A and B are shown apart, each in its own frame.
Chain A
Amino acid sequence: MVKRVAIVFLACVAICGWAIRPALAEYKVGAIFSVTGGASFLGDPEKKTAEMVVEKINQAGGINGQKINLIVYDDESDATKCNLLAKKLITQDKVVAVIGPSVSGLSLAVVPVFEKERTPLISCAASFKIVHNDKTGKPYPWIFKTPQSDSLAVEAIYTQMQKMGIRKIAIMSVTEAFGASGREELLRLAPAYKIDIVADEKYGPKDTDMMAQLTKIKGLAPQAIINWSVGPSQVTVVRNWRDLGMEKITFFQSHGFGSRKNIELAAGAAEGVFCPLGACNIAELLPADHPQKQVTMTYMNDYMAKYNEPLSSFGGHAWDAISLLADALKAVGPDKAKIREYLETKKNFVGQHGVFNFSADDHNGLTKEAFQMVVVKGKDWALAN
């Protein structure tokens, strides 16, 4: 009995000792991505990218002589877990800033945490709401994000439509955060571009077939369809569109379509589909004098060499986030408030998805020029004119 108590006691001491081991001199940076769960196609490349960038920095001697210690957590696409992990990073791991989460819903879920704890967050999710407080009409002070807002993608598509003379369209969206916020922007911006939305259809992320919605759209004979979704459903939609012989109705995908894997899965059905993409999707298509040509090519080559898999544009959001943070750390050191200030005034940061120009009123720092309109041609992207 005494022996047993002694063992338990020793074990406790050992655990405590391990737990309060002295922290090394390093910059602690947190990351939360949806590495597993429904949004793993975002979180997985983001995690890989962030780790790759940090490894590269540390190999080059770190920042100001300090290594970056990147602590990555997986929120499993779950709001409760995400919230807990955010608090754990701030209060227990004592990080100076956090990048992620991967999806809009979860980023929104932790906005209150970072505002309260006064810690910078650079989100890797699209929704405009993440950097826009409805009550004040301004960004949340401590929250930034790198992906282009949905509104920019919508503007890029609507601009292309104006060029093509399209006025009457149908929209489709998946009943998830990504689809819902895209749909909201599509509806909000349509009047400004004099575009008439004749059908507003939805489908579930696990639906097997969208023929019914497309048939209804076919009956209304719009000039174009815009689909806003991610994952397998966006492939099914394109296939159904092709099956129903609706090629005359031009098909636009959201920037969520930005992976060559999707063209492959569509099995030829994606031919002629338009899609707004960030520079990093199409690095090799960019003209040599494009400002992002160099960073995107380097990233693409590094990533493919390291992980031996095609680049996903979502990883680029993590590249932008961690690189921005590294830049800030280099300039001002591990001070939360100074990092926040630095980010807010950062201009001309050349990233994977655009050239960022932050300001007190804009915590995203991108314009619709961050998107290139591309079209699927011969099973690959081509720049659309």
Chain B
Amino acid sequence: MESLPFFNQLLQFIVTGLTIGAIYAMVAIGFNIIYNVTEIINLAQGEFVMLGGLVMVTVHVMWGVPLPLAFGLTVLGVTLVGVLLDRLAIRPIRKPSVMTLIIATVAASIIIKGVAMLIWGKSPYDLPAFSGRTPIDLGGVIIQPQYLWVVGFLVVVAIGLTWFFNRTIYGKAMSACADNPDAARLVGINVRHMVLLSFALSAAIGAVAGLTLTPIALMDYDRGAMLAIKGFGAAILGGLGSFPGAILGGLVLGLIEALSAGLLSSGYKDAYALIILLAVLFIRPSGILGNLEVTRFKRF
């Protein structure tokens, strides 16, 4: 039995880390979209990911809807949940302080999780990989085709968002809300619509993350919270509000986890990732790409 050269191992760790990191990055992007418009950390973000996976299982596996159509339906369905979240949990709050808004998202995440348990039960579900499960062997480094889908979707999301925020009227309006909601209101932007849009958009991205992750790691109703926390960590590491920061933060977090699991101690791998996160925060209190001057002006 031949052993694996160290260099190949290292590459394998990096491939794994980048894949998981891409998922974290997508969750972090979802956090940022809502944060930029509302300054809320939407702790129900992980539930979007969970829903993305489970809805896809229902639509694609149980109803037998073909993949591209199932993909669309799933994203649409979860987007609707995002819209409902804003309408039913966020907007009714009359005196919104940041802390009450966060508690509202925690409450919403508990409800979503509970409803998902009622619908799908407690057991995990599987989804067929989008293009089969035959691994690609690149000179000793194994790549699952699904990994490429995960990373590919991250790229698509990143390009799509760049286009959206720079080229479309809605995107520009949303950026304006992020910079200065009062001024945005003055020039006639409906901030409420923008908040709604931000929830819809980040739910959609969460769903994409979930349905690409499910063929790799299965999905069950209880998975949301952990993914939310990893994504939150990635968003903070990269600098809240910064999209390049979210992607960087996610990938770095994934890499640290994979490398410390492979090279140091797998029992402590989450701890290593968090210690590095803390170290970064103590040196740069606004994350790697965050802007300290901007955060000073944020209420929270």
Name A residues whose Cβ lies closer than 8 Å to a Cβ of B: 36, 38, 40-41, 44, 175, 201-204, 206-209, 211-213, 215-216, 218-221, 223, 231-232, 235-236, 239, 243-245, 248-249, 261, 264-265, 267-269
Contact = CB atoms under 8 A, between A and B. Distances in A.
Contacts of A202: 265-267
Contact of A215 (B20, B218, B262): B262
B9 A243 contact: no
A296 B128 CA distance: 34
A206 B3 contact: no
Contacts of B142: 211, 243-245
Nearest to A219: B4
A44 B266 CA distance: 31
A161 B222 CA distance: 36
A212 B122 contact: no
Interface stretch (B11-19, B75-83, B156-164): B11-19
Contact of B13 (A207, A215, A221, A223): A215
Interface of B: 1-6, 9, 12-13, 15-17, 19-20, 23, 117, 122-126, 128, 133, 135, 137, 142, 144, 213, 216-218, 220, 222-223, 226, 257-259, 261-263, 265-267, 269-270
A249 B1 contact: yes
A236 B4 contact: no
A244 B3 CA distance: 13
Most buried by A among B15, B226, B266: B266
Nearest to B259: A212
11 contacts: A44-B122, A201-B266, A204-B226, A204-B270, A206-B223, A209-B19, A211-B15, A215-B12, A215-B16, A218-B4, A268-B133
The 7 closest A-B pairs by CB, nearest first: A208-B217, A232-B124, A211-B16, A212-B261, A212-B262, A219-B4, A206-B226
A245 B218 contact: no
A213 B261 contact: yes
Contact of B1 (A201, A221, A235): A221
Contacts of A41: 122-123
Contacts of B261: 201, 203, 212-213, 216
Given A175-B267, A202-B267, A213 B262 contact: yes
A265 B266 contact: no
A220 B3 CA distance: 6
Contacts of A211: 12-13, 15-16, 142, 258
Given A44-B122, A243-B133, A236 B6 contact: no
B122 A40 contact: yes
Contacts of A40: 122
A201 B216 CA distance: 20
A179 to B, nearest CB: 10
B3 A261 contact: no
B247 to A, nearest CB: 18
A219 B6 contact: yes
Contact of B266 (A213, A239, A249, A264): A213
Most buried by B among A44, A235, A239, A265: A239
Most buried by A among B5, B122, B135, B213: B122
Contacts of A231: 124
Contact of B216 (A209, A244, A245): A209
Contacts of B266: 201-203, 212-213
Contacts of B137: 245
Contact of B9 (A204, A207, A215, A223): A215
A322 to B, nearest CB: 22
A212 B218 contact: no
Contacts of A239: 133
Contact of A243 (B144, B223, B267): B144
Given A201-B266, A236-B218, A219 B9 contact: yes
Contact of B124 (A219, A221, A265): A265
Nearest to B141: A215
A232 B218 contact: yes
A378 B137 CA distance: 26
Most buried by B among A215, A220, A239, A261: A215
Nearest to B263: A216
A265 B218 contact: yes
A34 to B, nearest CB: 10
A40 B222 CA distance: 11
Contact of A221 (B3, B218, B220, B258): B3
Given A215-B16, A265-B126, A265-B218, A248 B1 contact: yes
B3 A38 contact: no
Given A215-B262, A221-B1, A245 B135 contact: yes
Contacts of A268: 133
A169 B13 CA distance: 21
Contact of A208 (B1, B4, B20, B144): B20
A239 B135 CA distance: 11
A40 B124 CA distance: 12
Nearest to A39: B122
A248 B261 CA distance: 23
Given A201-B266, A211-B12, A236-B217, 13 more contacts: A202-B267, A206-B223, A211-B13, A212-B12, A212-B16, A212-B261, A215-B4, A215-B13, A215-B16, A220-B3, A245-B135, A264-B126, A267-B126
A385 B117 CA distance: 41
B222 A267 contact: no
Nearest to A204: B270
A244 B122 CA distance: 29
Contacts of B23: 208
A268 B132 CA distance: 12
Contacts of A236: 216-218
A268 to B, nearest CB: 8
Contacts of A249: 1
A44 B16 CA distance: 34
A320 B233 CA distance: 46
A302 B4 CA distance: 50
Nearest to B24: A208
A218 B2 CA distance: 9
A261 B258 contact: no
